[in-house]
Amino acid sequence: MQPLMSAEEGFLSFPEKELATLKNAKVVIQQIPYEYSSSYLMGSDKGPAAMVEASHFVEFYDEEIDCEAYKNFGIATLQPIDFTGKIDADAVEIIANQTRELLNQNKFVVSLGSEHTVTYGFMQAYAEKYPNISVLQIDAHSDLRAAYNGNPYSHASVMHRIHDMGLNLVQVGIRAQCIEESTLIKSSNNIHTWYAHDLWDNDVWIDDCIDKLDDVVYVTIDADGFDPSVAPAVGTAEPGGLSWIQGCKLLRRVAERKKVVGFDIVEIAPRENDILTQFTMAKLCYKFLGYLDINDRI
């Protein structure tokens, strides 16, 4: 396991040092700066550090839930994993091993990632502990290609790997896919997809998609699932995504209705002189933790 960052350096940069230790923190942030298969804009390996840095400017108090939520659970932040010389299966194994170690300590793990491939490593560990877990994916892309450029570990194939594990998958915000992915969705009994155009004029879809999840849920949030007006600095931006309010409504509702056991935020590609995306995703991370806390999920 990677060493800890100090409370000052870590997520939120709060003053209570005792809340940032593995002994006292219920939540552990792991930073996963892995990038190998990105297919458009590079830089997602800089995403985890950018989110941690941006989190230092997120207010501790959340007016929506009327509390400083971090004081209820504490947050320990791990140093980034070093992936030098490790790609594909080797990288996924490293990710799975650290995630497994944290889950064995009964920590609520939040993973700040890079390219979406990393979620495959997380799910290998989670599926061992929670065999009936299902996955809620917020994303612009289906990521259901059997392989991309010949690589089954590509970020464009990560949800196909999770589908291969036999897990129930609910996708929200999809607005870019190939015909192979569309065919798979139509033929599968455990892939449930809500396209972006299904979300435009109502909120009925929120409970409808949550109905398709099993009781235990892992949430993977690709920043490009949000509209570029909300999260522009991503590897492959697509117009017409979720608004901030839609995303928050969905996360609050799933926290109310399901046992969420972990989540990740991935695919941020930070840009010079533009902190909107990493700040927004850092705020979303803390807000989701708050939703989970008030529903006794942490």
- Is 39 a residue whose pLDDT tops 70? no
- In angstroms, the Cα distances linking 192 to 109, 189, 209 are 25, 8, 8
Looking from the CA of 149 toward its CB, the CA atoms found within 13 Å total 9
Q: What does the H/E/C string look like for the chain?
A: CCCECCCCCCCCCCCCHHHHCCCCCCEEEEECCCCCCCCCCCCHHHHHHHHHHHHCCCCCEECCCCEECHHHHCEEEECCCCCCCCCHHHHHHHHHHHHHHHHHCCCEEEEECCCCCHHHHHHHHHHHHCCCCEEEEECCECCCCCCECCECCCHHHHHHHHHHCCCEEEEEEECECCHHHHHHHHHCCCEEEEEHHHCCCCCHHHHHHHHCCCCEEEEEEEHHHECCCCCCCECCCCCCCECHHHHHHHHHHHHHHCEEEEEEEECECCECCECHHHHHHHHHHHHHHHHHHHCCCC
Exposure class string for 245-283: b at 16+ Cβ within 10 A, else e? ebbbebbbbbbebbbbbbbbbbbbbbbeeebebbbbbbb
The pLDDT, as a whole number, for residue 149 is 86
pLDDT tens digits for 172-217? 999 999 999 999 999 999 999 999 999 999 999 999 999 999 999 9
Contact status, residue 72 vs residue 100, Cβ threshold 8 Å? no
- Is 37 a residue whose pLDDT tops 80? no
- The percent of residues above 90 in pLDDT, for the chain, comes to 92
CA 235 to mean position of chain CA atoms: 15
- Radius of gyration over every alpha carbon of the chain, rounded to an integer in angstroms: 17
Residue 213: count of CB within 10 angstroms of its CB? 22
The pLDDT, as a whole number, for residue 36 is 81
Residue 56 structure tokens: 């230092």
Residue 154 structure tokens: 């590509």
- Is 42 a residue whose pLDDT tops 80? no
The pLDDT, as a whole number, for residue 270 is 96
Distance between CA atoms of residues 92 and 112, nearest Å: 15
Average pLDDT (60-64) is: 99
The pLDDT, as a whole number, for residue 243 is 98
Domains in the chain (CATH in brackets) are 17-294 (3.40.800.10)
**Partners of 222 in the β-ladder:** 266
pLDDT tens digits for 86-130? 999 999 999 999 999 999 999 999 999 999 999 999 999 999 999
Distance between CA atoms of residues 243 and 233, nearest Å: 15
Phi, psi of 146 (to 5 degrees): -60, -35
pTM exceeding 0.85: yes
Match 């008030």 to its residue by tokens.
294
pLDDT tens digits for 235-288? 999 999 999 999 999 999 999 999 999 999 999 999 999 999 999 999 999 999
**Partners of 218 in the β-ladder:** 135, 262
Match 């800890």 to its residue by tokens.
4
The pLDDT, as a whole number, for residue 38 is 64
First-to-last CA distance in the chain?
Answer: 21
